């Protein structure tokens, strides 16, 4: 039942959001597993495992950080020339 719920959640997130952000959440599986292992079974994680968890979380923070919007530049055209011969009858060539 949990797996079916997870799949439904996954497909709803894919439909609603950015695919890169949604699939990046798969990297949380080892982190959640290690935390549940500690909470339920009391097993401790080795220092190298803790470093791995921190690197996973740091990578996810970088992925989900809001990126600045790209600047759009206007196309500067000094002249345009119609040339006969394209599918519509004319090609448009621009030059500076």
Instruction: Give 71's DSSP letter.
Output: P
What mean pLDDT is reported for the chain?
75
Task: Specify the pLDDT at position 80.
Answer: 55
Domain that includes residue 34, residue range: 1-96
Residues counted in the chain: 96
Look at the chain and report how many structural domains it folds into.
1
Global pTM reads: 0.53
Among residues 57, 61, 41, the alpha carbon closest in space to that of 49 is found at 57
- Could you report the per-residue pLDDT of 19-53, keeping only the tens digit for each? 777 777 788 888 888 888 999 999 998 999 999 99
Q: How confident is the model at residue 64 (pLDDT cuts 50, 70, 90)?
A: confident
């Amino acid at each position: 039942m949990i797996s079916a719920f997870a799949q439904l959640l996954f497909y709803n997130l894919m439909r609603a959001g950015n695919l890169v952000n949604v699939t990046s959440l798969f990297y949380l599986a080892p982190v959640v597993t290690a935390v549940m292992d500690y909470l339920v079974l009391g097993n401790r994680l080795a220092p190298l495992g803790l470093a791995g968890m921190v690197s996973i979380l740091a990578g996810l923070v970088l992925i989900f950080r809001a990126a600045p919007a790209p600047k759009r530049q206007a196309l500067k055209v000094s002249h345009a020339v119609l040339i006969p011969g394209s599918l519509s009858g004319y090609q448009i060539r621009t030059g500076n």
